[in-house]
Structure 1
Amino acid sequence: MGRWRKKIKAGNTFEIFEYASGRKGLKIPVAPKSNETSEKQKRQNDKNAESKCRWYINQNFRAGDWWIYLTYPAKIRPTIEKAKNDISKFFRGMRTIYKKAGKELKYIMAAGMGKRGAVHFHLVMNYIEAGKIAEVWRAIAGTKETPYPTMNFKPMDTRINHADLAAYIIKNTLESFYDPERRLYADRFCKSRNLKKPKITVKKVKAKRWRKPKPPKGYYLDKRYTYEGYTEDGYPYRHYIFIKIHGEEYET
Structure 2
Amino acid sequence: MAYVHRRVKAGRTIEHRKMQSYRIHTKGVQRGPNHGTTSAKQAKINERVAEEHLRWDLNANFGHRDLHAVLHYYAKDTSFEEILEHKAVFLRNLRKICKKRGIKYKAVVVIETKRMTNPHIHVVITHMDPEIITEAWEFVPRGGGGVSFKPLDRRGNHAKLAAYLVKESRSTMEKYREIGKRGKRYSKTQNMAKPVITYTTVAASSWRKEPKPSKGAVLYMFDDGSTTRSGWHEISGYPYQEYFEVFNE
Specify the alignment match of 1:167 in structure 2.
Answer: 163
Q: 2:243 aligns with which of 232, 240, 245?
A: 240
Mapped to 2, the partners of 1:173 and 1:159 lie a distance apart of 24
Is the CA contact (8 Å cut-off) linking 2:74 and 2:118 kept in structure 1? no
Deviation at 1:104, TM superposition (A): 1.1
Specify the alignment match of 2:40 in structure 1.
Answer: 39
Equivalent position amino acid for 2:111 in 1: A
Matched, 1:213 2:211: yes
Specify the alignment match of 2:49 in structure 1.
Answer: 48
CA offsets per residue over residues 184-242 of structure 1, 9 Å max, x none?
A: 76221111000000111122224455135232222121132520232333211011100
What SS does the aligned partner of 2:57 have? Answer: helix
CA offsets per residue over residues 38-68 of structure 1, 9 Å max, x none?
A: 1111111111111111111010001111111
Mapped to 1, the partners of 2:179 and 2:228 lie a distance apart of 34
Deviation at 1:120, TM superposition (A): 2.1
Is the CA contact (8 Å cut-off) linking 2:110 and 2:122 kept in structure 1? yes
> Which consecutive residues of structure 2, in runs of 5 or more, have no partner in the other structure?
25-36
Q: Give TM-score, length-normalised by structure 2.
A: 0.83
Mapped to 1, the partners of 2:73 and 2:231 lie a distance apart of 43
What SS does the aligned partner of 2:85 have? Answer: helix
Mapped to 1, the partners of 2:99 and 2:152 lie a distance apart of 22
Specify the alignment match of 1:227 in structure 2.
Answer: 229
Q: Give TM-score, length-normalised by structure 1.
A: 0.82
Is the CA contact (8 Å cut-off) linking 1:111 and 1:184 kept in structure 2? no
Mapped to 2, the partners of 1:214 and 1:183 lie a distance apart of 48
Moved more, 184-193 or 49-58: 184-193
Equivalent position amino acid for 2:163 in 1: A
Is the CA contact (8 Å cut-off) linking 1:177 and 1:184 kept in structure 2? no
Specify the alignment match of 2:195 in structure 1.
Answer: 198
Count residues in correspondence: 230
Equivalent position amino acid for 1:138 in 2: E
Equivalent position amino acid for 1:237 in 2: Y
Specify the alignment match of 2:131 in structure 1.
Answer: 131
Specify the alignment match of 2:173 in structure 1.
Answer: 177
Query: Equivalent residues in 2 for 1:12-161 (5 A)?
Result: 12-23=12-23, 38-80=39-81, 82-115=82-115, 119-141=119-141, 143=143, 147=144, 149-161=145-157
> Which consecutive residues of structure 1, in runs of 5 or more, have no partner in the other structure?
25-35, 248-252
Is the CA contact (8 Å cut-off) linking 2:134 and 2:146 kept in structure 1? no
Deviation at 1:174, TM superposition (A): 0.8
Equivalent position amino acid for 1:70 in 2: L
Equivalent position amino acid for 2:202 in 1: V
Cα distance change, pair 243–116 in 1 and its aligned pair in 2 (3 A)? closer
Dislocated runs of 4+, deviation >3 Å:
114-119, 182-185, 206-209
Mapped to 1, the partners of 2:179 and 2:70 lie a distance apart of 18
